[in-house]
Chains A and B, each alone.
Chain A
Amino acid sequence: MGIPGFVQTLFADYTLRQVALGAAMLGIVNGVLGSFAVLRKQSLLGDGISHAALPGIALAFLLTGSKSSLTLLLGAAAAGWVGTLLIMSIVNHTRVKYDSALGLVLSVFFGFGLVLLTYIQKLPVATQAGLDKFLFGQAATLLRKDVATIAVLGGIVVAFLLVFWKEFKLVSFDPDFAFSLGYPVRALDVLLTTLLVIAIVIGLQTVGVVLMSAMVVAPAAAARQWTDRLGVMVAVSGIFGALAGVGGALVSSSASRIPTGPTIVLCASAVVLFSLLLAPNRGLAWGYFREQINRRQLQTEAVLGDLYILARQHREAGHGHPVEVLRTMAHGHGGVDRSLKVLQERGLVEETGPGEWALTPPGMEEAGRLSRQWRETP
């Protein structure tokens, strides 16, 4: 099936359309909220929340016997929230550090969730099957009402974010200053974390608790590479989240029995890798090329400087110096021939004989200017 065929199927196939829509929305919401989590250095909190949600899902099912997405999500949100509060109170009231508290709560809640899940699967109830999709996610199981739930909750989360944009930005950048202005920093902190919990919970059915944190961290980390403005970063992160979500969900839905979580993570990783390498300014490739350009320019200036030293020793303008001498003076750093060619093109040096080089009068002037500049900057 070629790409046009695929797109055609996408719009023709009702189920696939649902899946793509749901994945896109949860991608946007998590990308947007994830930006704040990443900037507040709470990337791992997403991992804690999603793992802590598992026992909530299982308990919600055991208590109500219902598998409606809203019931299970409420259970997940409650458990995720309790897990978060537990992490915070461990940090505040004991000597255990944030990372240890997070690891502790994450594993205890997740372990408890797995026990409950195993118990549920042994129950002789016909409706019990399918809860295990919350482990690795199964986008293909998204129904119309699941997508509606995602849309409503996601919409609420994003609306809150827009209303409190200025406040969230302030507490993320400088909470002490926010406090000094009279903002209730603790309440804003709780609100922002609650929004993150909701964002994560609406993704659990599609992505699964195990890999959900990738949807929080990856789009935001990738988006940070491309911009230095918060608004742009949040928007780009939302777009990246949607791309990863839709890509992963469609791949997993079209090839049967592949869980969605892993395919979404692969898509998100591709976006991150691409951004880390190729983003302007912050990208690795950009940095490498900038370094190469700097190095070449320094090499060229060094050769010009060496010729200047030689010229001053000889007091005879236009006296050619063998290229071997220049190579020795460059201490084997190389680039002498390339530098001479560049300088020749700029009319600063001339080849006076085979393998012999001298400064031209403009070259003499330029070298003098550079050497004065070097002397001035310590």
Chain B
Amino acid sequence: MTGPRGMAGAESAIRVEDLTVAYGEKPVLWDVDMAVPPGVLMAVIGPNGAGKTTLIKAIMGLVRPVAGYVSIFGKPYLSQRRLVGYVPQRNSVDWDFPTSVLDVVMMGRYGVLGWFGRPGRAERKAAMEALTKVGMADLAGRQISQLSGGQQQRVFLARALVQDARVYLMDEPFQGVDATTERAIVTLLKEMRSEGKTVLVVHHDLQTVPEYFDWVTLLNVRCVASGPVEKAFIDRNLRLTYGGRVSYLTHHAAEETFGHPEE
């Protein structure tokens, strides 16, 4: 793997070393090394069951690794938690929960508020600004069960925006959203990058990787490759990741859909 080595590693926004996660006896992630420089938009791609979601969860300590070490800007994750924003998969929560859009977005400030702080005017203002950024300001008062899939995703993104983090971990933000929302999200991601944020995105659509991202990690239990898109996103690596069933570069326009290896 190319990337910063030794002391230079302190400059990585996210640095993962020897990360191994197992559910029971089966390894889900095996000896993953990865260094993400600050200010890049990175896609994490790989077939179903490759451990993409687990990678995000292991970085945050939500899943306990068997071995390995994660640092954010050179320091252990736990001491840098405030710098990391998280966008979970949309379907990981019950959208029939009795709460409003604005309320969910304000949850992004709870970490800063601490135990006994209550959300007030400042939090409301930050939440409204984030909602405006994702084009949802007029739906702030809406009950969350009345949102479409794309709107739910935008709410989660707004919640992450008010965290005002430097590193973002996003689990499939493009899943099940329409073309308009996808474009809006991409615009937002690029805006975040231009503000110097580092964004890691679990992604499924190989076609759009070169267009949306400048950095990529190919994952299939092991880390096959990680680096700038033009270097890492090559036919050989894709074959290694997807088990030879991908012909992205040979059919560049790639009309065909990709078959993921069965689990």
Contact = CB atoms under 8 A, between A and B. Distances in A.
Interface stretch (B11-19, B32-40, B93-101): B93-101
B60 A224 contact: no
Interface residues of A, number: 25
B100 to A, nearest CB: 7
Contact of A227 (B62, B98, B107): B98
Contacts, number: 67
Contacts of A182: 81-82, 111
A172 B99 CA distance: 11
A178 B60 CA distance: 12
Given A177-B86, A181-B111, A228 B143 contact: yes
A306 B97 CA distance: 44
A174 interface: yes
B229 interface: no
A172 B93 CA distance: 9
A173 interface: yes
Given A166-B110, A228-B143, A228-B145, A177 B100 contact: no
B104 interface: yes
A176 interface: yes
Contacts of B60: 179-180
A9 B62 CA distance: 58
Interface of B is mostly: mixed
Contacts of A39: 94, 97-98
Instruction: Determine chain A's interface SS by DSSP, over half rule.
Output: helix
Interface string A66-85: 00000000000000000000
A185 to B, nearest CB: 9
Nearest to B119: A166
A224 B97 CA distance: 9
Given A179-B60, A230-B98, A174 B93 contact: yes
Most buried by B among A178, A180, A181: A180
Given A170-B107, A170-B110, A228-B143, A180 B86 contact: yes
Given A166-B110, A180-B62, A224 B98 contact: yes
Nearest to B78: A182
Contacts of B84: 180
B224 to A, nearest CB: 27
Given A166-B113, A173-B107, 11 more contacts: A39-B94, A39-B98, A166-B117, A166-B119, A172-B97, A181-B111, A182-B81, A182-B82, A228-B98, A229-B99, A232-B98
28 contacts: A166-B110, A166-B113, A166-B117, A166-B118, A167-B110, A172-B97, A173-B93, A173-B104, A173-B107, A174-B88, A174-B92, A174-B107, A176-B86, A176-B88, A177-B88, A178-B110, A180-B60, A180-B62, A181-B111, A182-B81, A182-B111, A224-B98, A227-B98, A228-B99, A228-B145, A229-B99, A229-B100, A230-B98
Q: Which 5 A-B pairs have the closest CB atoms?
A: A181-B111, A228-B143, A180-B86, A174-B93, A182-B81
